[in-house]
Amino acid sequence: MRALMAVGPEVSGILVDICCELKGLEEAEKTNGWPSRAGKVALQIALTRLAKHYGLIAPDDAAVHKRTGLRHWGTDDYRPTLDAGHGKDSHETESNG
């Protein structure tokens, strides 16, 4: 019951129709008086809220914060070069060959 409350009353009905009562998407749209393809959007919203409730998706504010950080594998002072693999050592081995 807490999961349906977390989803919200505006979209919990379609979640129950599709996932619990095993209705088809078209039938759920007709039952709710929605235009075609509106059920898909409502179901996506409901499933996203349900995933957030169970911790499968980070809350919105955490996801935004996570995306804004710069991530890389090098150290803090690491800067990649455009001619990687063509440094002094590789030219010396080619000319000595």
pLDDT tens readout for residues 64-82: 555 555 555 667 777 777 7
Closest by CA to 37, choosing from 23, 49, 25, 47, is 25
In-domain check, residue 81: no
CA-CA-CA-CA dihedral for 84, 90, 91, 92, to nearest 10: 150
Convert the pLDDT of each residue in 30-64 to its tens digit: 988 999 999 999 999 999 999 999 988 877 655 55
Task: Read off the pLDDT band of 85 (50, 70, 90).
Answer: low
12 or 91, which is more confident: 12
In-domain check, residue 77: no
In-domain check, residue 14: yes
Q: What pLDDT does residue 81 have?
A: 76
Domain encompassing residue 21: 2-72
Reply yes or no on whether the pLDDT at 14 is more than 80: yes
Task: Provide the domain count of the chain.
Answer: 1
In-domain check, residue 93: no
pTM of the model: 0.59
Q: What pLDDT does residue 67 have?
A: 54
The per-residue pLDDT of the chain, averaged, comes to 79
